[in-house]
């Protein structure tokens, strides 16, 4: 790969080009982006997988080596790689992009990988099966809709943990507000309890032409009742 494709300016231009794409166009974008994805998000100092894995492992009270993890919007497997460092070994991955899933398969971390258009198709898993359900990077405007959160909760077993992240940049403020309203509503319904919400100032370098520096984000950890 030539060096200039790994500059911040190039990566920001690539990511910005996807912001106005339709759902079908965006999926094709991810299929084409898959081979360069890991290198490009490294250029952006994308901290979400590490932050989520660290937060989850800190609060998880079960046997990490025996735990079954559902990695939703798994991409190339960055979150599973981080969770493996904390002792988790059993992963099922779901993503809408075949290109991303093909690379996730090469990690040999996943016992099963499933393709699913999140928000348009139900999660292709058994409800109440997973010790951990995690979605990192998918919950944001133009990607996975807020409504999928209820399915994440359903997929977890009673006492299981659900870890979610979202960005807190200007373009995602309304989505973040809607997400937090739903998280609170589900808590009031007695579906889960909040374990920890962590606001992070330096989530990743801005990938929009309208923003500079680092954008903030958040990690949400809930436990199913």
- What residues does each domain of the chain span? 45-224
109: tokens are 């971390």
Average pLDDT rounded to a whole number, residues 102-115: 98
> Smallest Cα–Cα separation from 217: which of 163, 177, 168, 164?
168
pLDDT of residue 97: 96
Q: Who wins on pLDDT, 168 or 2?
A: 168
> DSSP of 111-134, one letter per residue?
EEEEE--BTTB--SS-TT-EEEEE
Phi/psi at 122 (5° precision): -70, 150
Name the one residue in this structure whose structure tokens are 């081979």.
35
The pLDDT confidence band at residue 46, using thresholds 50, 70 and 90, is very high
Question: How do residues 51-69 score in pLDDT, each as one tens digit?
Answer: 999 999 999 999 999 999 9
pLDDT of residue 3: 52
Residue range 45-224 forms a domain whose CATH class is alpha beta
Q: List residues bridging with 166 in a β-sheet.
A: 218
């Amino acid at each position: 790969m030539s060096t200039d494709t790994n500059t911040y300016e190039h990566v920001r231009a690539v990511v910005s080009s996807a912001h106005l794409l339709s759902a079908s166009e965006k999926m094709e974008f991810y299929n084409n982006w898959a081979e360069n994805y890991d290198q490009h998000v490294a250029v952006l100092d994308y901290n979400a997988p590490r932050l989520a894995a660290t937060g989850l492992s800190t609060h998880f009270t079960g046997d990490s080596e025996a735990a079954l993890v559902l990695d939703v919007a798994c991409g190339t497997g960055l979150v599973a790689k981080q969770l493996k460092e904390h002792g988790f070994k059993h992963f099922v991955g779901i993503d809408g992009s075949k290109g991303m899933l093909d690379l996730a398969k090469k990690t040999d971390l996943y016992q099963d990988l499933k393709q699913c258009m999140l928000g348009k198709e139900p999660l292709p898993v058994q409800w109440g099966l997973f010790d951990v359900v995690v979605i990192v990077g998918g919950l944001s405007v133009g990607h996975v809709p807020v409504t999928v959160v209820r399915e994440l909760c359903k997929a977890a077993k009673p006492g299981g943990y659900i870890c979610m992240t979202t960005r807190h940049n200007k373009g995602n403020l309304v989505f973040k507000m809607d997400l937090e309203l739903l998280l609170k509503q589900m808590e009031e319904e007695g579906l889960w309890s909040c374990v920890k919400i962590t606001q992070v100032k330096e989530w990743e370098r801005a990938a929009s032409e309208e923003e500079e520096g680092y954008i903030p984000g958040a990690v949400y950890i809930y436990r199913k009742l």
